[in-house]
Structure 1
């Protein structure tokens, strides 16, 4: 698996929140749902996205924005419009004063807003649980990135638009996969173009992650491919160096300079992300089996590393994805 494919494989929606937002100006939404990642596709009209400490970014028809949480932000018809709706965790909506709006703004199947045929239509997909998007993918993204309509062409967006308001058996699974496909299509295009400068397509981030740029280096790129293709191998810096044809010191220095962290630190993060994905996707697999598949000698060793790096145990991580306290 190449490095970019491995990165993009980190997006796996599970019961993601999707809707069509239909609104008439003036409107303004204060989003403080603390979701890890949100995709906003501007289907009709325009919108402005702004953070408390930054200027607004415009979305025109066909533009797609990816917003990395959990920082709050505002989406409005104009930057000067004050918030009229607040979106809380769990996608609960209220007025700024706390009056519930969920029923008042319900316009039908996965359709929400203040006008059935409003001037503005947005398609919104929310990854609500941190485990739906792995850490490396979140770390690779800026706080906000926007892909302009005239800079790409995707068949996924119109398909998602047609599927969101449908009510059919298995529809949630269909929408989850379409959201993943849309996100992957957007990010693949964005990474390929190396956006990172301030502006409408670069957001406020640093462009593609350092390890992705390092993938083109003849030495570090080979080391990365070895780690990604065989994360369960008992790698050491010395073994990696032997496979890449340089000294241990040279590999460690070059890897750290290009990737931003030492080889074994990178491998730990890669293994734990893989473990988190297995815990998410294979609900019946034992922790011992997960440990073996990602290169840990025991369930205890994996659990200790998982808790140290992620702050929760593997069992707590798995429970959080199923809504179990």
Structure 2
């Protein structure tokens, strides 16, 4: 697993959901804050997205927008004023009708129409990797010819799968939605110039060290061994790694091992001894002690509290 894959896997819970919504005329709908991440992709027409506390964004055909932290927002046919926003219909009610009211007016040939793909990812924000935490409240990826071809291909494939019943869609759609999340984050990273983690993964020394730690977190790493792996001196690695990642290499390794242990406790039924071996602890007791210090609870209690997540993930 690479760093970005690990960062996403650590927080992903259950299966994503999506639906396609069509609307026309005058409409305005509100999506409440969500404990996860939401996205919208405009397949036809255009609309406005008004994030809570943020500047409005105009979305056109092919535009994708990701709300990584589940921020509440409004979708509307135009730049709605405060009064209209306050009266916005609940998205659950509105999307069930496909119109802003229960008595839609018939559309005409020249009336603007909207066709948008909306979806959600369930995320466990209790263990967010700093790469994910660094994402802004809203990631807007305008459609540009030749930019992010993988993202555009995933959007096209999703649009086709959701266009009507197809054999295997129950597997294809969730898999494509998972790919969509990866491609949106990858696209943001390629365009971000201010993110610390974009800089960290762009630094050959730090990126090499991170790849090594994520490839085999159970290995008996030391600062000297990791510096050798990165091809630099120990002081050079410590300085560059700490500056870009925000903590020294061995402190990051300890945090990541415990984060991986928490993910395995949540997503598997593996015994504690097996999990300890996979994340680099010699005994279940050593892992339990470190885990309790980091999370304020024992591995057993943590697993019990997340049994529902594992059940929902299998749905």
Aligned to 1:149: 143
Q: Deviation of residue 60 (structure 1)?
A: 0.7
Using the TM superposition, name which of 163-172 and 144-153 deviates more. Answer: 163-172
Aligned to 1:203: none
SS state at 2:140 partner = strand
Normalising to structure 2: TM-score of the pair? 0.77
2:242 aligned with 1:256, yes or no?
yes
2:203 aligned with 1:217, yes or no?
yes
2:263 aligned with 1:266, yes or no?
no
Pair 1:79–1:270, CA change in 2 (3 A): farther
2:278 aligned with 1:293, yes or no?
yes
2:110 aligned with 1:124, yes or no?
no
Structure with higher Rg: it is: 2
Pair 1:279–1:46, CA change in 2 (3 A): farther
Q: In the TM superposition, what are the counterparts of 1:279-318 in structure 2 within 5 Å? A: 279=265, 281=267, 283-303=268-288, 305-306=290-291, 309=294, 313-318=302-307
**How many matched pairs?**
293
Q: Deviation of residue 78 (structure 1)?
A: 2.1
Query: More helix per residue: 1 or 2?
Result: 2
RMSD of the TM alignment (CA)?
A: 3.4
Aligned to 1:98: none
Q: Is the CA contact 2:158–2:176 (under 8 Å) kept in the aligned structure 1?
A: yes
Q: Is the CA contact 1:4–1:212 (under 8 Å) kept in the aligned structure 2?
A: no
Q: Is the CA contact 2:13–2:309 (under 8 Å) kept in the aligned structure 1?
A: no
2:85 aligned with 1:85, yes or no?
no
Structure 1 unaligned blocks of 5 or more: 88-92, 94-100, 197-205
Q: Is the CA contact 1:35–1:126 (under 8 Å) kept in the aligned structure 2?
A: no
Pair 1:237–1:309, CA change in 2 (3 A): same
Normalising to structure 1: TM-score of the pair? 0.75
CA distance in 1, matches of 2:292, 2:25: 47
Aligned to 2:184: 186
Pair 1:195–1:165, CA change in 2 (3 A): same
Q: Deviation of residue 172 (structure 1)?
A: 3.4
Q: Is the CA contact 1:40–1:124 (under 8 Å) kept in the aligned structure 2?
A: yes
Structure 2 unaligned blocks of 5 or more: none
CA distance in 2, matches of 1:160, 1:11: 23
Q: Is the CA contact 2:12–2:124 (under 8 Å) kept in the aligned structure 1?
A: no
SS state at 1:54 partner = coil
